[in-house]
Homo-oligomer: A and B are copies of this chain.
Amino acid sequence: MSTVYEINAKIFKAFCDENRLRIIELLQGGEKCACTLQEKLPIGQSTLSHHMKILIESGVVEVRKDKKWSYYSLSDKGSIAATEKLSMLLTKNYSDQTECVCESEA
């Protein structure tokens, strides 16, 4: 079983590794194959593959396979979803106006 917190934390994990941020930045310029990403990053092949998996599972990156190669690109849908999710998370809603218990002890 997964809580909504676990699910969302997993999505945001896409953005909390230095190398994944580099990858995303490279994808801003359009679709890139693994070998192009590889040569611009200071990591091994299996590590890149691991990061791509995390990015794809978070929904912000899509993969297209053609012949021997994998082409990665930013997903509009996933990108919007992640941004909206963060925006919602950080939006105040005042549904819970609970006062601090410690106030009364002051």
Contact = CB atoms under 8 A, between A and B. Distances in A.
State the main secondary structure of chain A at its contact with B: helix
Taking the full assembly, how many copies of this chain does it contain? 2
A22 B5 CA distance: 7
In order of increasing CB-CB distance, the 6 nearest A-B pairs are A29-B96, A79-B90, A12-B15, A33-B100, A5-B18, A13-B16
Interface of A: 3, 5-6, 8-10, 12-13, 15-22, 24-30, 32-33, 35-36, 39, 60, 67-69, 71, 74, 79, 82-83, 86-87, 89-98, 100-103, 106
A96 B21 contact: no
Contacts of A94: 28-30
A16 B21 contact: no
